[in-house]
A and B are shown apart, each in its own frame.
Chain A
Amino acid sequence: DAGVIQSPRHEVTEMGQEVTLRCKPISGHDYLFWYRQTMMRGLELLIYFNNNVPIDDSGMPEDRFSAKMPNASFSTLKIQPSEPRDSAVYFCASAFSSGLYQETQYFGPGTRLLVL
């Protein structure tokens, strides 16, 4: 398996522009997570989906952030408009659930976002 795939790997944009990050989870996984990592705040969960349905978006910082999962093999995280404080590494992770428990989360390589 190719693992979790994220694109782009690096993104440099100017303040006010729209940014779209993409993720392809591991085939067969039914959970998908979006995280943001910064030096100051560490790794923070933004939102997660189960079977393509958003379950918990309490970590989404504000209305400028939105996430979708139109099918089991694709998800997007959009920032509109972007601001310099959004600069971070954004990780997508996926996991498979067995019964009541969710198994190991596998992380993608991340998207390094710089907003100027």
Chain B
Amino acid sequence: GAVVSQHPSWVICKSGTSVKIECRSLDFQATTMFWYRQFPKQSLMLMATSNEGSKATYEQGVEKDKFLINHASLTLSTLTVTSAHPEDSSFYICSARDVAGGEYNEQFFGPGTRLTVL
């Protein structure tokens, strides 16, 4: 149980285009999903916290107009990187917390999406 999927696994796009990444909780409901970014050999950086049915909470320094987050249902959150540039190339990871709390109230992570902007 507690499986989180992400789609696509990897994407290559041209500078200036927009890319949408989906995060789904497959066998549980998640009122809260988290979006992280990780550059090589660096720690996970929380970008935003997504709550179902309400606006996402963005971390300081993350542009909300550039990284659009939609959490329309208890099993799906999407991150859209608008007008992507090479510096947006990174590993994007989502995680979800079970509504029921889970044994440790832990976050379950998706497999990640590797974005390369040319």
Asked whether A and B interact, the reply is no
Which residues of A are interface residues toward B (Cβ below 8 A)?
A: none
